[in-house]
Amino acid sequence: MSELGQLLRRVRRRVKDQPIRVLIQDNPLVPADATISLRAGDAPRFRDSGLPCCFDDGTDELIITSAPADSTANTLAVDRGQDGTTATEHVQNMALLIRPRFTNAEILDRVTSIVETELYPHVWLAGESSLEYQASNEYYSPDVPDIEEVVYAYQLSGGFRYPLRVDFLSRSLADDANFENGAITLFDEPDATTIYYAYKARPTIGSLSGALENLTVMATVADMVMAEEASHVGGDTSAVQRRVEDGSRLRAGAVLWDRFEAARNQERIRLQSEEQERRGRVSGVGRVR
């Protein structure tokens, strides 16, 4: 299970999306395959054509069954990469999700939106890295992607820590192939020793910390529940049920969103507190302890 697959699974659990799962037997299932091998006994689960299914591995591929499964050969004919998704290779014994409440593509779309628009600048990834001193160029290129701010920089020399003045241009402002992660300018280096710096980075799906992944799941679930309101009533639902349920998911989603914003605020406070503590340790020249 990839990390992205785990993230999607967490979202499904939170929205109680628990589709029937069968394990594919192809070793592997390649993009060109239009027939899936099933375990003996799983074919009766596919009695109809037109069933939407996706894979429990973090890929966005949606498939549609093109015929009922063959119970003798234990095979299933499918149309691959439907609704603009991409046919992808899947390993043997990967779970196939039958008629999920939300497709992988729908979840991935909302996760991507949340990570790109609802995390930074409210919360961020905090970290430290280093640069090797260079005498020939006043600009340094950090080795960490997605940096939005350099918080501080310092050198260790003769058993003392020396804070440095620092300027930073983000990747978009640096606009130079040699500075694909931005450009750091440092002043007043006391010697040619290693330079250490702390930064704030914009989170991406691939770089989420545990805390930011929790926030992403909360916000994604809230967004999905609210978005589902318009289409949540099925054709077999009674008029009484429709009146009772009308607006319920929108209200539930709004409550979840409020909880997400409160949790995001708490994480921001925690990050700010840690940053202030680190700044205090390097605010002036001092002996390294």
Residue pLDDT, tens place only, 95-137: 999 999 999 999 999 999 999 999 999 999 999 999 999 887 7
The candidate with the shortest Cα–Cα distance to 182, out of 195, 201, 207, 165, is 201
**How far is Cα of residue 155 from the mean position of the Cα atoms in its chain?**
34
Domains of the chain: 18-100 (2.40.10), 112-119+208-279 (no CATH), 125-202 (2.60.40)
Q: What is the pLDDT of residues 169-179, one digit of tens each?
A: 988 888 777 78
Distance CA 119, CA 121 (A): 6
Q: CB of 46 within 8 A of CB of 52? A: no
Which residues, in sequence order, are CB contacts of 234 under 8 Å at separation 6+? Answer: none
DSSP 286: E
The pTM (predicted TM-score) of the whole model is 0.87
Instruction: Tell me how far apart the alpha carbons of residues 259 and 222 are, in angstroms, rounded to a whole number.
Output: 9
Instruction: Report pLDDT for 243.
Output: 45
Supply 94's token pair.
Answer: 């990967």
- pLDDT of 18 higher than 70: yes
**What is the mean pLDDT of the segment spanning 236-259?**
69
- R_g (Cα) of the chain, nearest Å: 26
Strand 183-187 versus strand 52-55 pairing type: unpaired
